[in-house]
Amino acid sequence: MTTERKRRIKDIIQAARGRLLDLYPFYGLLLMYLKFVAVPKMKKISTNGRCIYFNPDFIEKLYIDEIEYILIHQILHIVCGHIWRERDVSGDDYHFACDIFINLLLEDTKYGVNRYPHLGDIYRGSTDSVDLREKTPEEIQAFMPYSLYAFNEQVRSKFFVDNDELWDNKTDNGQLGEIIIDIPEMTGRLKIQGSSEMKAGNFDGSAVGGELKQEWKLRAAVAASSMTSDGKEDGGAGDVPDFVQRIIGKMKDPVLDWKKILNNFIQERVNDYSFSPPDRRFGDFDFFLPDFNEKDFVSKEILFMVDTSGSVGDGELAAVYSEIKGAIEQFDGKLTGMLGFFDCCVTEPVPFYSVEELIDIIPIGGGGTSFGAIFDYLADNCADEPPACIVIFTDGDAPYPPESAAGGIPVLWMINNLEITPPWGRVTRVLRGEKD
């Protein structure tokens, strides 16, 4: 493509993305995480969760509202999990059911039209006995009165505004075509935290691996948390789909009394004089500080390490965020610390000083579990300024290093089950009944 054509296409996409940031900021914010890649030989438009791939001829013929609709369509294929389809539900019938699901979600927005001049009919399905708005794509597919495979490929293509040819290619990060818009450097609520490879502006996709789906769920939760009740930034829910609000709803009230748990690491400050310095060891019993709410308290830095191995699901991660959020709130915002993630290796811990900053930190991981990796990281990076204590959220299902690996730093294991008890350190269990 010529430089002039690339500039023209870039302007078209940026104009649509800018309008979405104003009209429907939830979708506009999430589009900032995706590269836009021109692939002249492909059909229409597709995504793999890292990029939006498009045929430049297809994009150039669309009106601005058609481009806005098709970009939201790609975001919803990602956030709704459609691109992580199972093999037994792949194919045009499943894709068509996903499109119906999306169009029902958008029914009450400005994109709830029945037809676009260049995209064709917008299908929402129909049945006299069942409300498809309450159904998953798999269930919608079961209610379809016919299979699209009854038609030839040319007819089938008329049912789709996009294609799914890149849904299953999660490794490509723009190499299939020409990158027209790269991921911008992200700040504030959009920044990606974690290992150095994941820092904003240096995201190459490879560091996320199989956790791309989990990361998109957290991205959606972060974007939703910045919406107001009228759809603008910095508050409520506005244009946020109900299913995303349900993700946020998993962040329940904490079940632990963090004041009691962390008493050993609290300093009471009166008239600029600190006493009761933090004990470097966990005692066999709890210490209670009198008149806690009537005095000013500060904590030495606590290191929270969260297990993001493949055995830990979204419900458990939501519980972890709920507990750390509860710890911050129970200390009236005076709890400061670092939050890191580990599977078989450790991401660089990120400092947080408020609930808002906590939610900005995106978990990454997905491999096996190694507790030793935590203490190896501390020995290599924190020998001069060790944390006051380490709080490890995990299911506990991994080999344990010897207690000497902690180097005298107190360790509190937060286990999410009743089956596993670590051989050393202090243990508290976070049990929430059924898993979310």
Give residue-wise pLDDT tens across range 1-16.
899 999 999 999 999 9
Per DSSP, 346 falls in state: B
Q: Rounded to an integer, what distance in angstroms lies between the CA atom of residue 184 and that of residue 63?
A: 25
CB neighbour list of residue 118: distance below 8 Å, 6 or more residues apart: 61, 62, 63, 66
Do 358 and 333 form a contact (C-beta atoms < 8 A)? no
- Residues recorded for the chain: 436
User: Is a pLDDT exceeding 60 seen at residue 180?
Assistant: yes
| pLDDT at residue 276 in the model | 40
User: Is a pLDDT exceeding 80 seen at residue 283?
Assistant: no
Instruction: Pick the closest to residue 53 from 146, 141, 162, 132 (CA basis).
Output: 162
User: Is a pLDDT exceeding 50 seen at residue 210?
Assistant: no
Q: What percent of the chain has pLDDT over 70?
A: 66
Q: Rounded to an integer, what distance in angstroms lies between the CA atom of residue 260 and that of residue 68?
A: 51
Domains of the chain: 3-205 (no CATH), 258-429 (3.40.50.410)
Position 416 confidence tier, pLDDT thresholds 50, 70, 90: confident
Place of tokens 């008890």: 421
User: Is a pLDDT exceeding 70 seen at residue 231?
Assistant: no
DSSP per-residue letters across 26-73: HHHHHHTT-EEEE-TTS-SEEE-SSEEEE-HHHHHHS-HHHHHHHHHH
User: Is a pLDDT exceeding 60 seen at residue 66?
Assistant: yes
DSSP per-residue letters across 392-422: EEE---S----GGGGTT--EEEEESSSS---
Position 246 confidence tier, pLDDT thresholds 50, 70, 90: low
Q: Where are the beta strands (DSSP E) in 244-382?
A: 266-270, 273-275, 296-299, 302-307, 337-342, 350-352
| pLDDT at residue 225 in the model | 60
Do 20 and 71 form a contact (C-beta atoms < 8 A)? yes
Instruction: Pick the closest to residue 140 from 153, 154, 159, 127 (CA basis).
Output: 127
- H or E segment and range at residue 340: strand 337-342
- Identify the top-confidence range among 53-57, 256-260, 411-415: 53-57
| pLDDT at residue 179 in the model | 96
Position 50 confidence tier, pLDDT thresholds 50, 70, 90: very high
CB neighbour list of residue 205: distance below 8 Å, 6 or more residues apart: 50, 171, 173, 212
Q: Who has greater pLDDT, 298 or 169?
A: 169
- pLDDT (average), residues 5-29: 90
3-state secondary structure of 181: strand
| pLDDT at residue 313 in the model | 57
Position 183 confidence tier, pLDDT thresholds 50, 70, 90: confident
Per DSSP, 188 falls in state: G
Q: Rounded to an integer, what distance in angstroms lies between the CA atom of residue 312 and that of residue 392?
A: 13
- pLDDT (average), residues 209-225: 69
| pLDDT at residue 195 in the model | 31
Instruction: Pick the closest to residue 391 from 407, 362, 413, 373 (CA basis).
Output: 413
- pLDDT (average), residues 177-192: 63
| pLDDT at residue 133 in the model | 82
Asked which of 37-41, 88-92, 143-147, 302-306 is least confident by mean pLDDT, the reply is 88-92
- Identify the top-confidence range among 156-165, 300-309, 325-334: 156-165
Q: Who has greater pLDDT, 236 or 263?
A: 263
Do 307 and 364 form a contact (C-beta atoms < 8 A)? no
Do 184 and 63 form a contact (C-beta atoms < 8 A)? no
Q: Who has greater pLDDT, 331 or 268?
A: 331
- H or E segment and range at residue 246: helix 242-249
Place of tokens 């492909």: 42
Tokens at residue 197, please? Answer: 């490879």
Amino acid identity of 419?
E
Q: Who has greater pLDDT, 409 or 227?
A: 409
User: Is a pLDDT exceeding 60 seen at residue 191?
Assistant: no
Q: Rounded to an integer, what distance in angstroms lies between the CA atom of residue 217 and that of residue 220?
A: 5
| pLDDT at residue 236 in the model | 39
If one counts every other C-beta atom within 10 angstroms of the C-beta of residue 121, the result is 11
Do 363 and 317 form a contact (C-beta atoms < 8 A)? yes
User: Is a pLDDT exceeding 60 seen at residue 253?
Assistant: no
Per DSSP, 407 falls in state: T
| pLDDT at residue 434 in the model | 39
